[in-house]
Amino acid sequence: MRYTYTLLLSATFVSTAAFAQHQFRDQMEPYPYTDEAAVANQKPLMVIRYNQENVYYQTPLFNAVSKTLQVKPTAQFTFVSKVPVTGQPEKDSRAEEQAHSNWQNILQTLSDIGLPEKQMTVRFEKSNKVLNNEILVFVQ
């Protein structure tokens, strides 16, 4: 059984310095262990869009991850953070900072759920096809 959730959620989060400990701050390239081909041919389990002031993604993310783990305890989750590119350096820099802050909040939620880091990968992608930051959740 496959669970598919598409969430059109949004939020503005306060940046946190804790993100640096995960070494994602300046890395906008995929991590080498991310299976890009598998993700490219798949629909996301969940999409979180940050296009308004508050986003309430925690409960839907908890439900999606929990139900997936009930069905497949060894499931691997890939999180793709899409960062909008406008060509305006200052605006693009703020979007990158916001994307990293958003990921830090998602990571905290996943930690609260109890999802081990070994079962998740993350990558950041710059895109001129998105208007706001997005995080797509894929399951393998």
Where residue 53 falls among pLDDT bands split at 50, 70, 90? confident
Spatial distance between the Cα atoms of 130 and 133, rounded to a whole number of angstroms: 7
- The pair of three-digit structure tokens given for residue 26, joined into one six-digit string: 């300046």
pLDDT digits (tens, 9 = 90+) for 73-89: 999 999 999 999 999 99
**pTM for this predicted structure:** 0.70
Between residues 84 and 19, the one the model is more confident about: 84
CATH architecture for segment(s) 17-139: 2-Layer Sandwich (3.30)
Q: What's the pLDDT score for residue 118?
A: 94
Spatial distance between the Cα atoms of 50 and 134, rounded to a whole number of angstroms: 6
Where residue 44 falls among pLDDT bands split at 50, 70, 90? very high
Q: Where are the domains of the chain?
A: 17-139
Instruction: Give backbone dihedrals phi and psi of 17, rounded to 5 degrees, phi first.
Output: -75, -20
